[in-house]
């Protein structure tokens, strides 16, 4: 005879397994659409810029099933899908909206992260350089989504209960990420952070750059947000 606890365990595994597979499939399909879109953007924007620049500033690169890159002049955006499914902690603002309160398990989400790196970090194999998470897309079992992010990335997509991910929404997200990366400039690091260097570092620097570089190295990342830090999801 199966005990009540065994029934609960088996039912939970069955339900969550089906749910998480659905969320994974949704996120994976969206990521495939995003890859196709980024590839289209490369061609479209390079065509529009022909004659205005000496070389194509946009370059798309497929890395794997879960990662792709878009080089934009001196920047690279890395789009990375996590293979796991996540639940939000209880302090997250997503729990405040009626869509979540009135529906079971809609908060289980896949994540697509968007990182901003310097192109030279990859070109010169500066493996200790920094990249910054500028946005992340959450997608659930119903294809509903929202975006958390820096500055522009956080203002546009916070209607989790109604927004369904599609190509139009993805295009707006990618364009916003491109605009943000172009506006997110490399600042001179504070003098105090750079005034001392070891013999080993200067010797290694002959062949590669061991000195860490990032757009806000030595500054708090919040310092770039002179127009205000974007809050996490506040409801809609």
Instruction: Quote the number of domains for the chain.
Output: 1
**Is the model more confident about 27 or about 206?**
27
Please report which confidence band the pLDDT of residue 220 belongs to, taking 50, 70 and 90 as the band edges. very low
Mean pLDDT of the chain: 82
The answer to whether residue 230 sits within a structural domain is: no
The answer to whether residue 229 sits within a structural domain is: no
Q: Is the dihedral of CA 145, 147, 153, 159 positive or negative?
A: positive
pLDDT in tens, 62-112: 999 999 999 999 999 999 999 999 999 988 888 888 899 888 899 999 999
Domain span at residue 122?
A: 4-224
**Is the model more confident about 151 or about 225?**
151
Model pLDDT, residue 231 = 31
Please report which confidence band the pLDDT of residue 160 belongs to, taking 50, 70 and 90 as the band edges. confident
What is the Cα–Cα distance from 131 to 22, expressed in whole angstroms?
A: 31
Highest mean pLDDT among 49-53, 124-128, 156-160, 190-194: 49-53
What is the Cα–Cα distance from 69 to 72, expressed in whole angstroms?
A: 10
- The two tokens of residue 134 are 């500028």
SS (H, E, C) the chain: CCCHHHHHHHHHHHHHHHHHHHHHHHHHHHHHHHHHHHHHHHHHHHHHHECCECCCCEEEEEEECCEEEEEECCEEEEEEECCCCECCCCCCHHHHCHHHHCCCCCCCEEEEEEEEEEHHHHHCCCCCCCCEEEEEEEECCCCEEEEEECHHHHCCCCCCCCCECCHHHHHHHHHHHHHHHHHCCCCCCCHHHHCCCCHHHHHHCCCCCCCCCCCCCCCCHHHHCCCCCCCCCCCC
Would you say residue 138 has pLDDT above 80? yes
Indicate the pTM of the whole model.
0.80
Model pLDDT, residue 156 = 47
What is the Cα 43 distance to its own chain's centre? 22
Model pLDDT, residue 102 = 86
The answer to whether residue 233 sits within a structural domain is: no
The answer to whether residue 124 sits within a structural domain is: yes
Q: Tell me which residue has tokens 């003098």.
A: 191
The answer to whether residue 232 sits within a structural domain is: no
The answer to whether residue 93 sits within a structural domain is: yes
Nearby residues of 230 by Cβ (< 8 Å), 6 or more positions away = 148, 149, 150, 151, 153, 154, 155
Model pLDDT, residue 159 = 80
Please report which confidence band the pLDDT of residue 15 belongs to, taking 50, 70 and 90 as the band edges. confident
The answer to whether residue 234 sits within a structural domain is: no
Please report which confidence band the pLDDT of residue 57 belongs to, taking 50, 70 and 90 as the band edges. very high
Average pLDDT over residues 23-44: 98
What is the Cα–Cα distance from 28 to 16, expressed in whole angstroms?
A: 18
Would you say residue 136 has pLDDT above 90? yes
The answer to whether residue 91 sits within a structural domain is: yes
Would you say residue 60 has pLDDT above 90? yes
Model pLDDT, residue 218 = 40
């Amino acid at each position: 005879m199966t005990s009540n606890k065994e029934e609960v365990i088996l039912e939970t595994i069955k339900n969550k397994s089906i749910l998480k597979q659905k969320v994974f499939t949704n996120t994976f399909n969206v990521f495939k659409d995003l890859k196709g879109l980024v590839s289209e953007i490369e061609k479209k924007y390079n065509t529009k810029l022909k004659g205005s620049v000496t070389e194509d500033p946009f370059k798309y690169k497929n890395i794997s099933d879960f990662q792709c890159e878009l080089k934009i002049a001196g920047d690279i955006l890395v789009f990375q899908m996590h293979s796991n499914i996540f639940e939000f902690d209880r302090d997250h603002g997503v729990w405040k909206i009626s869509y979540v309160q009135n529906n079971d398990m809609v908060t289980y989400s896949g994540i697509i992260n968007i990182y901003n790196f310097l192109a030279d970090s990859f070109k010169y194999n500066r493996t200790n350089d920094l990249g910054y998470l500028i946005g992340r897309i959450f997608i659930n079992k119903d294809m509903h989504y929202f975006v958390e992010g820096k500055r522009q990335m956080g203002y546009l997509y916070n209607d989790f209960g109604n927004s369904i991910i599609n190509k139009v929404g993805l295009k707006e997200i990618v364009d916003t990420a491109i605009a943000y990366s172009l506006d997110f400039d490399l600042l001179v690091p504070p003098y105090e952070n750079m005034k001392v260097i070891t013999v080993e570092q200067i010797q290694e620097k002959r062949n590669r750059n061991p000195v860490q570089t990032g757009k806000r190295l030595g500054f708090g990342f919040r310092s770039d947000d002179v127009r205000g830090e974007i809050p996490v999801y506040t409801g809609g």
